[in-house]
Structure formats: structure tokens, C-alpha cells
Amino acid sequence: MENQDELKYQELFGKWHGWASPVGLGIFFLSLALSVLVLSTAVKKLAEAGKKGVEIRQQLKTE
């Protein structure tokens, strides 16, 4: 009887453990979305800084 109970609980634990569980998948997709957000923000800021740098160079050349 104890072995059957242990096996049952091990199977239940296995369903909610690791990246294949609903909680693990939720954490994975949340971290993936946050990573995409951070990378897109960084690229956008880098592009803005590059554009400002070009504008400053053009102003210095005309002066």
C-alpha cells in the first residue's frame, strides 16, 4: 500500500516539477517576454544614441 501511495505522489510531483509543468512553462514564457522587451528597448536606445551622434557630428562639421 505504501509503495502505491509513494508511486502516486511521485507521479504527481513529476507533473508539477521542471520546465514541462504549467508553472515552469509560465516562468519560461514570462522570462522570454521580459528578455525580448529588454533587448528591444536596448536596441531602440542604441539607435537613438547613434542618430544623435550623427546629428552632433553634422552640426560640428557645419560650424
pLDDT of residue 54: 85
pLDDT at residue 25, rounded to an integer:
85
| Residue 25 neighbours by CB under 8 Å, 6+ apart | 19
Query: Taking the C-alpha atoms of 30, 33, 37 and 38 in order, what is their torsion angle to the nearest 10 degrees?
Result: 60
pLDDT band at 44 (very low <50, low <70, confident <90, very high): very high
- Which residue type sits at 54? V
Q: How far apart are CA 26 and CA 19, in angstroms?
A: 9
Q: Count the neighbouring beta carbons within 10 Å of the beta carbon of residue 36.
A: 10
Instruction: Give this prediction's pTM.
Output: 0.61
